[in-house]
């Protein structure tokens, strides 16, 4: 007989008090005295948890209610008290929490006020060939391995976009996708669209950091560090350096970000409490820095340990300034020691 059936409620509460329960569900960021409520669109900090005697309680002052670990689970999973009690005992007795974590993710997905539009993927989207992987990597001066890894992870695909063979970045969450031509050239002016280097596929939600939607969301908790970059080439470049320096860091990217682009709330929930480093494009007068300072503030509120990498004063071998992560692949030999500190 499994140990779970022998735990009573007070034993379960002693083993898994509310702060630890919330941590187990990936909700560290709101496991505090004052935080944004997970049960309603909260612009204030209406939610909080607090100890009373030897027990813990939660409360939302905006009307979502309050209670103990069991009422918290009832509310999170929209389930009966009976099944919440069973779930709590199972969690407290150490049953694997994969199911619980993915259920919480489903909850965040289902909780969006407006459903994302579906992305218009090309009908011939598929995995890249070995030759295409080499072509994409060579054009950026990055390793074949980094491109192959992204293809294997289901993040990098190929297909025909606007009539040209293209590489396409998206992820299992299918919220956002961006294409670039495999030959590196611009898409010509066509059908009301101007000449452009990158083409965001119709229906994309630009606030979603591509790369974060991995097909096994329960694995996210194994990554303690996330590298938040801008654009497709920097996603490959960040992975290139993570592999080069053997860091267990997951690169994610905001594609086609403007100064006003905020990070998607579901992504913030996944990143809550994690180490995040942002690599803002160093483009004076551009939108990179403005967007990045907004992301720093958002991630900070989500309880992340967040900082931004500074590219200023770095030069490429040719003498030109380094503006992004991809430029670091051509770093001037005098500046090479900075690569040691690139990834936390």
Give whole-number Cα distances, 255 to 4, 179, 204, 248, 259, in Å. Answer: 45, 10, 10, 22, 12
Nearest to 224 by CA among 189, 274, 190: 274
Residue 250 Cβ vs Zn ion, minimum distance, rounded to whole Å: 30
Residue 287 Cβ vs Zn ion, minimum distance, rounded to whole Å: 34
For Zn ion, which residue of 60, 92, 107, 237 counts as binding (CB under 5 A)?
60
DSSP letter for each residue of 103-131: HHHHHHHHT-SSPPPPP---TT-BPPPHH
65: part of which helix (H) or strand (E)?
Answer: strand 65-67
Contacts of 261 (CB under 8 A, 6+ apart): 206, 207, 254, 291, 294
- Residue 308 interacts with Zn ion (CB under 5 A)? no
Residue 61 Cβ vs Zn ion, minimum distance, rounded to whole Å: 8
Counting residues that bind Zn ion (by CB under 5 A) gives 6
Residue 26 Cβ vs Zn ion, minimum distance, rounded to whole Å: 18
What whole-number distance in Å separates Cα of residue 310 and Cα of residue 289? 10
What whole-number distance in Å separates Cα of residue 341 and Cα of residue 344? 7
For Zn ion, which residue of 45, 62, 125, 182 counts as binding (CB under 5 A)?
62
Segment interacting with Zn ion (CB under 5 A) among 63-71, 120-128, 173-181, 235-243: 63-71
Residue 38 Cβ vs Zn ion, minimum distance, rounded to whole Å: 8
Segment interacting with Zn ion (CB under 5 A) among 18-26, 57-65, 138-146, 301-309: 57-65
Using the minimum distance from each CB to Zn ion, give the nearer residue, 109 or 111: 111
What whole-number distance in Å separates Cα of residue 205 and Cα of residue 255? 9
Nearest to 101 by CA among 210, 8, 25, 214: 25
Using the minimum distance from each CB to Zn ion, give the nearer residue, 39 or 226: 39
Using the minimum distance from each CB to Zn ion, give the nearer residue, 62 or 153: 62
What whole-number distance in Å separates Cα of residue 87 and Cα of residue 89? 6
Residues within window 197-256 making contact with Zn ion, judged by CB under 5 A: none
Using the minimum distance from each CB to Zn ion, give the nearer residue, 72 or 241: 72
Using the minimum distance from each CB to Zn ion, give the nearer residue, 30 or 276: 30
Using the minimum distance from each CB to Zn ion, give the nearer residue, 63 or 284: 63
Residue with tokens 């919220």: 175
Residue 334, classified by CB atoms within 10 Å of its CB into exposed (0-12), middle (13-18) or buried (19+), is exposed
Residues within window 22-51 making contact with Zn ion, judged by CB under 5 A: 37, 39-40
Using the minimum distance from each CB to Zn ion, give the nearer residue, 37 or 100: 37
What whole-number distance in Å separates Cα of residue 271 and Cα of residue 254? 14
Residue 4, classified by CB atoms within 10 Å of its CB into exposed (0-12), middle (13-18) or buried (19+), is middle
What whole-number distance in Å separates Cα of residue 15 and Cα of residue 254? 39
- Residue 76 interacts with Zn ion (CB under 5 A)? no
Using the minimum distance from each CB to Zn ion, give the nearer residue, 161 or 268: 268
Residue 62 Cβ vs Zn ion, minimum distance, rounded to whole Å: 5
- Residue 64 interacts with Zn ion (CB under 5 A)? yes
Q: What are phi and psi of 296, to 5 degrees?
A: -55, -45
Residue 82 Cβ vs Zn ion, minimum distance, rounded to whole Å: 24
Residue 60 Cβ vs Zn ion, minimum distance, rounded to whole Å: 3
Residue 50 Cβ vs Zn ion, minimum distance, rounded to whole Å: 15
User: Two tokens at 57?
Assistant: 């309680």
Would you tell me which residues interact with Zn ion (CB under 5 A)? 37, 39-40, 60, 62, 64
């Amino acid at each position: 007989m499994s140990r779970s059936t022998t735990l009573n409620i007070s034993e379960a509460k002693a083993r898994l008090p509310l702060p630890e329960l919330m941590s187990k569900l990936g909700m560290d960021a709101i496991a505090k005295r004052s935080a944004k409520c997970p049960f309603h669109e909260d612009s204030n900090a209406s939610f909080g948890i607090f100890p009373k005697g030897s027990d813990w309680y939660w409360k939302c002052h905006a009307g979502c209610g309050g209670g103990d670990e069991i009422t918290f689970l009832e509310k999170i999973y929209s389930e009966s008290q009976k099944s919440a009690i069973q779930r709590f005992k199972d969690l407290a007795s150490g049953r694997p929490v994969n199911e619980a974590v993915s259920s919480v993710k489903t909850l965040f997905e289902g909780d969006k006020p407006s459903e994302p539009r579906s992305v218009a993927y090309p009908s011939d989207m598929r995995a890249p060939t070995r030759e295409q992987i080499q072509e994409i990597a060579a054009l950026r001066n990055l390793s074949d391995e980094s491109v192959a890894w992204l293809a294997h992870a289901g993040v990098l695909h190929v297909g025909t976009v606007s009539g040209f063979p293209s590489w396409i970045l998206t992820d299992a969450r299918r919220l956002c996708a961006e294409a670039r031509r495999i030959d590196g050239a611009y898409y010509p002016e066509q059908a009301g669209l101007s000449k452009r280097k990158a083409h965001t596929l119709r229906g994309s939600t630009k606030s979603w950091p591509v790369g974060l939607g991995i097909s096994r969301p329960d694995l996210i908790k194994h990554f303690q560090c996330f590298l938040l970059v801008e654009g497709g080439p920097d996603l490959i470049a960040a992975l290139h350096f993570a592999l080069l320096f053997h860091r267990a860091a997951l690169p994610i990217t905001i594609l086609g970000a403007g100064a006003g682009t905020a990070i998607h709330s579901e992504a913030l929930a996944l990143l809550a409490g994690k180490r995040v480093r942002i690599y803002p494009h160093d483009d004076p007068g551009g939108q990179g820095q403005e967007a990045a300072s907004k992301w720093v503030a958002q991630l900070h509120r989500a309880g992340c340990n967040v900082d931004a990498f500074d590219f200023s004063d770095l030069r490429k071998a040719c003498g030109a300034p380094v503006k992004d992560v991809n430029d670091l692949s051509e770093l001037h030999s005098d500046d090479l020691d900075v690569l040691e500190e690139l990834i936390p």
